[in-house]
Structure 1
Amino acid sequence: QLAELQVSLNEHCDKCPSSPAFRPAAGNVCCAQFTEDNLWYRAAVIAYVSEDTVLVGYIDYGNFEVLPLTRLRPMVPRLMDLPAQAIRCTLAGVKSPLGAWTSKAVSFMNQLVTDKVFTVKVVDKESYRSVVELVDASVTPVINVSSHFIEKGCAAEESRMALPAIGMSDVKEADEDATNKRICKWSKLTLKQTVDVVVCTLYNPGEFYCQISNNSDLLALNLLNKSLSEYCQKTPPSVFKPENGEPCCAFFSDDGNWYRALVRNVTSNGTVKVCFVDYGNVEEVPLDKIRQISSSFLKLPFQGIKCWLSGIKPGNSKWIPEATARFHMYTAGIKLQARVTSLSRDGAGVELIDNSTGHPKVINEILTSEKLAVKEVLQDKNNFPNKSDKKAVHCIFLLFLLETSLRHWKWIELAIDETVSVCVTEVVSPDLFYAVPVQTKDQEKLHRQLIELEGYCKSCKNQPFKPKLGEACCARFSGDGRWYRALVLKASQSVVKVLYADYGNTETLPLSKVLPITDSYLKLPFQTITCSLTGIEKAEWSPLLLDRLKEMLLNKYVTITVKGINGNVNLVTVEKHSENGSLNVADKLVMDGLVKSCSAQNLDTEHQGHGGETKCCCTELKMQVR
């Protein structure tokens, strides 16, 4: 995809002449001509070095350079469909013994990792970077870069991380255990379970395959695949007659690697139809590209789980291509939340929720609202839906790509135990209220961007625009007639309810007051903080409580402290300050008998739904976007 993007990007830029009027603001994404090869790449403007030169960062490769404005071109939205491929990282488990990294340490890191292939495990998030472990699985035993760094005296240990691996010494020759009974296990879901997943192969909304987004299992699979490829490359073709239902190793021609598979059918023309059990795609493979599998590679349960979207069905007897294409767009590359509503021995009926935008979007409901599916009475499926004959859209993802997403915006990020002075701008319930920081480091950038946004909106031609649920847009605030960045909370045929993403207030507007927004105006994080009050038990909130909460918080300056994070929702305590000292809002509501206090041991789990049995902040958010 990146190679195809580069071709399209260069074709676009070759047709686009340099313009003295093009001066992208800091933070905007543009096309930049790299000085070493004179080809065009996607880049973000970091800062202006002088009147006519800028520092840019190449978002797909991670390198930087200073360029004259003549080597920049405007970006177009279609070239931003693919998420940025470079991920900013910091090495887990190590710290500099001297406070700052020495030139020796930097040089050693370059020597150790530059232009090499590693397995990446994301263990934490810090602001805008990922804390990662790097593992070189191409050698036996595998090398953990953090440990290697410490052993060479270039770093001090911060914490110890253990990584699972399968070494070649653990792999039995296939003929050594040929007589053993191979028991194939699959990863399983349970009824009412809610779990993070990634869609890895998609046929239609009635048949797709998911992997549970469990870092340890996916890392184990990644390492297993490397060991299996090494094993198969060293194993010559043998007189192996695969039988239907038998596990094997099979060669996947699209990427030239070997994977675990189950034999579906041995054809008369000498090919074998197999299902790649960790991803769900089905292929025909030449017989000489099949290997007998060692039981050592069958210990990890198969990771590809058959699923279908529950509660909906195609309008006619079959899913139309538009529904499948739309479903693919909503799921590709995004970590989703799956809520299991029905089970059969073949798979699971699920409700898929995209939490990446801060306002949960239920994909089942979106397809229905777009008339691409109709609702059906929810029931267990004893038989898995008939398989489509259409070729599957394969989405086999590398582990580190789980941290990227197709969304084009982000919220400001707060750390656990971080305390911030805010103004509360909107109160829905204790589960959901919005606030904006009193002080923000991006205030100047935001001011400049709003000026540019105003000019952009005034230049837009009047054209029909119907934003979708959860979509970012430009909205014209009725209070001053100016345009601002916004997110759609509700949408109908004539009006939309929007959240002004940098100010935290909401408003219902006619469609004539909203416009599409381009990616260049979405680089600066939205300034609104989405909050949920912690320390109280969940209940059906009384009108008296809601009135009291609005009286205490709405348009008031308070201090919030982050105690947990659930997706993009910050679980916070709230302190009000007055001449008589500070007042904890949750404690005051408890004292007034409006809510019950939540014990300390429940604070970590109070906002986590259990199969729909517990009301949580996500429930309120879900109601907001319906």
Structure 2
Amino acid sequence: MANIAMQKYWKPVAKEPVGIEHPQPETFLPDGQSESNMTHLSVSKGNVNTCMYKKPCVSKHKKEEVYASCIGGPNFFWCQYANTEELSEVSRLAQEAAHTHQDTTFLETLGPGSPCLALFSSDNEWYRAQVLSRVDDEFNVVFIDYGNECDINIKNVRSLPQSLLEKAPQAFLCSLNGFNESKGSWEDEGYDEFYNLLVDKQLRVVVIYTEDHSEIAVPQYAVEIECEGMAVNAAMQKYWKPVAKESVGLEHPQAETFLQDGQSESYMTHLSVSEGNVKNCMYKKPIISKNKKEAVYASCIGDPNFFWCQYANTEELSEVSRLAQEAAHTQQDTTFPETLGPGSPCLALFSSDKQWYRAQVISRVEDAFNIVFIDYGNECDVNIKNVRPLPQTLQEKAPQAFLCSLYGFDKSKGSWDDKGYDEFYNLVVDKELRVTVFNTEDHPELSVPRYAVELECEGVVVNTLMEKYWKPVAKECVSIEHPETETFLEAGQSESNMTHLRLSKGNVNTFMYKKPCVSKHKMEEVYASCIGGPNFFWCQYANTEELSEVSRLAQEAAHAHQDTTFLETLGPGSPCLALFSSDNEWYRAQVLSRVDDEFNVVFIDYGNECDINIKNVRSLPQSLLEKAPQAFLCSLNGFNESKGSWDNEGYDEFYNLLVNKQLRVAVIHTEDHPEIAVPQYAVEIECEGVVVNTLMEKYWKGQATDHALAKSL
């Protein structure tokens, strides 16, 4: 892995400079960009001939080692194989062929799509090319082993021998998978960032699918890119702006803003609802199932306990919109507004775009209505002249948005830090999300259901990220609070971010819990529940259903009649229940050491430890002993502490990389921890598309061998 770490300091020299130089004749500028980082093909818009070169030797779902030889943007760039043996052979043959006797009549037949040899003026070398367009004796060509293009005079074009036609191109046209330009656009900074991420670096690409480019007779490959342990596709998501087909939910009209403590009006939308009773909702319920993930956008954001999600698949929404415009422009029954009151369905005109949308009345004062747009979630004040009756066909279609709250944050049991509102808005606005519904309740003021959901955005669980802004901490807090009693300091560290076990040095009893359900080389979704350092941390499963069940059983068992004689037998390794003082809840534990009536225990479903008095210890029933631990002790694979040590900054960096983030871990090997009667798993960690093991290499100081040390002395 040290090889990977050193790659960033290596500057490969391109054997052929075509793809690196980005010649000025072929540059173009997206809005807000400089010429320094953009190259593109000025292709003919007309039909092109069939490509006569072979297709590149690229297989789907197989990793290829490449360099980006020509970078236009995230949706148009060329990759060249890192292994350049074949390229060198092609280059040698090209020079030979160009200097042999030529049949000049072939030039008359050259047109878009024709293969040829072309002279690159910057180095006076000949390269394989394909004609993109021709005007008289001027050709625009693409160098098919590099990807950049150039304007060439007819005198600098040669015929291509069969031997070179049969060799597959050494570069291939790519686009970044997951970013369809018909469904969004890049922020200006995205182009610079993409260029800087790729240029002069060895990359690993995986082809997801292939399509023919609309203007060049070559295939274009949608790829996933890994660079220096980082997933480039994930890193680029923050620069992508998806285009909403319908804009009601995104505009956040000023008329509907309200203020939470410490917030500005610029980004908050909410319903100013009537406090009185409202009529039963006559719309169907949204089509959403518990525990099933839905792809959505946040169409209206009030706060973490009040926001609306709209389905990402907008086919049904488009149909609803079409029917709404038709219905609004048909002959109307003017008597219908007299019957409208809270809860009534209707059509309402949205003033910002002069379009009609399905709505539901929240309150009415004479001829002024306050309504909610039920396919988006934002609300508006509407005059009676801008309200229409809703036909049966539109009433029968389920709403395309649904009211949500962030699961795990009951406002009756806590409140949000002021910063939490800004953070939540920024986390979810204009991003595709995946939501999972955990439970449903009727909103107390609106006649619509509200869904308690878990949100996932760009591979991160939003609920977890938001925990730091919640006051007080949730009951399941053992792994979050990191009580002061269990902290310790590595060199150069502060107490704020380190938790560890103060272990008994003596022998411990045989471990009586089952082993965690972890398989080698199988990815597990987890959180770091207790972080000591790269060689000592605990991971807890992200799926907490079993953990919730264990917690429920633990509370029941702790309050049942106890046999106090069992306490006399407790010693290192013994399983038990222990009270965690910060939340007065009972958790499964294992004794690490005992001095008279004081125990030091580890909470085996979380990993952190605590000093406990004998009065706060209970026996563990067989039902809880048989359930596997919900957390497991880990170390970062590839860093043996007998062969090196960590820089002081490494501990802080490791903590910040893991804390409060959903991780994916793969177990490489297992060994028994020398001081705790639990297995310790050496793992590879992926976080937000980044391989943590790779990132941490720069903080590792390997020890010199005796031979190297002797030489240095």
Larger radius of gyration: 2
TM-score by length of 1: 0.36
TM-score by length of 2: 0.32
